[in-house]
Amino acid sequence: MTKGHRPTVIAVIPCLDEEYFIGDIVVRTSKYVDRVIVVDDGSTDNTSEVARAAGARVIKHKQKQGAGAATRTGFEAAKADSADILVALDGDGQHNPDEIPQVLAPILAEEADMVIGSRFLPPTQQTQGTNIHRHRKFGIHIITWLCNFGSKAKVSDSQSGFRAHSRRLLEAVNITEKGFGFSVQVLLQARKKGFVITEVPISCRYHSQGSSLNPVVHGTVVAFSAIRYRLMSLWSR
């Protein structure tokens, strides 16, 4: 970032059928960023209308394409909108928008290019911990182990959707994964290209009205993605 230049911070919120949460998330997120982009991945409810009424720019896929595809759409829109920093968070109410400043802080201080909001670092006075279920936690730890294996730059939460990215990183990564494996793909690309990655503690509260995706199916799919990308990375060496 140019010295003396106030960075433009854009939030990207990919979501699907989240009319119950998205309005509140957009309003609270708007307090900490310059613009909010909601990528509606083919919702059949009023997600787009609620998000737009709350002040977000809404980009809607005509049909569901997947979390990775929705995130890629948001990344491209933020870059075109001159984002210096992009902060991504989920649209199902599990992330606390009031924690955006602490996720942004290492990039604003030019100490990192990617900040992962970790659910597994010790909570601070500003965070409230998580209510993550044991089986979900186990799956995330397996995927994170696969991402960390053989790497010096280790993380505690490879699957967090609450992340901040510098402009340099946005220009360098390329999301081709349409599903939830995109989180692994971005992390491994950033690591391979030598970007500084750090983590900060966040809260995470799962809600009964939130995502209905089966965590076992989700975890299995992402684990295979992690194995595939790690093998590709080792092969390219």
* Residue 134 is assigned to a structural domain of this protein: yes
Each residue's pLDDT tens digit, 13-26: 999 999 999 999 99
∠ at Cα 62 (58, 65), nearest 5°? Answer: 95
Classify residue 198 by burial, with Cβ atoms within 10 Å: 0-12, 13-18, 19+.
middle
Q: Which residues of 123-148 are buried (b: 16+ CB within 10 A; e: fewer)?
A: eeeebeebebeeebeebbeebbebbb
State the pairing for strand pair 197-201/35-40. Answer: unpaired
DSSP letter assigned to residue 7: P
* Residue 4 is assigned to a structural domain of this protein: no
Q: pTM for this one?
A: 0.87
Residue 66 belongs to a domain with what CATH number? 3.90.550.10
* Residue 96 is assigned to a structural domain of this protein: yes
Q: How far apart are CA 6 and CA 90, in angstroms?
A: 26
The domain in which residue 47 lies consists of 9-236
Averaged confidence pLDDT in the chain? 88
What is the band of 140 on the pLDDT scale with cuts at 50, 70, 90? confident
CA atoms within 13 A on the CB side of 100: 24
Q: Which two tokens stand for residue 222?
A: 């992402």
* Residue 1 is assigned to a structural domain of this protein: no
* Residue 33 is assigned to a structural domain of this protein: yes
- Overall domain count for the chain: 1
Residue with tokens 């975890």: 219
pLDDT of residue 224 exceeding 70: no
* Residue 70 is assigned to a structural domain of this protein: yes
Residue with tokens 């509260």: 205
pLDDT score, position 135: 76
Each residue's pLDDT tens digit, 149-183: 878 889 999 999 999 999 999 999 999 999 888 99
* Residue 3 is assigned to a structural domain of this protein: no
Q: How far apart are CA 16 and CA 230, in angstroms?
A: 29
φ, ψ dihedrals at 51, nearest 5°:
-65, -40
pLDDT score, position 139: 83
CB 10 within 8 A of CB 78: yes
pLDDT score, position 196: 97
Q: How far apart are CA 96 and CA 116, in angstroms?
A: 14
Those residues with Cβ within 8 angstroms of residue 20's Cβ, 6 or more apart along the chain or in another chain: 93, 209
* Residue 176 is assigned to a structural domain of this protein: yes
Each residue's pLDDT tens digit, 88-133: 999 999 999 999 999 999 999 999 999 999 999 987 655 566 667 7
> E-strand spans in the chain?
9-15, 35-40, 57-60, 85-88, 114-118, 163-166, 197-201
DSSP letter assigned to residue 221: H
pLDDT of residue 229 exceeding 80: no
Q: How far apart are CA 40 and CA 18, in angstroms?
A: 9
Q: How far apart are CA 87 and CA 12, in angstroms?
A: 6
What is the band of 3 on the pLDDT scale with cuts at 50, 70, 90? low
Share of the chain above pLDDT 70, in %: 82
What is the band of 66 on the pLDDT scale with cuts at 50, 70, 90? very high
pLDDT of residue 193 exceeding 80: yes
pLDDT of residue 212 exceeding 70: no
Print the SS3 string covering 128-189. CCECCCHHHHHHHHHHHHHHHCCCCCCCCCCCCCCEEEEHHHHHHCCCCCCCCCHHHHHHHH
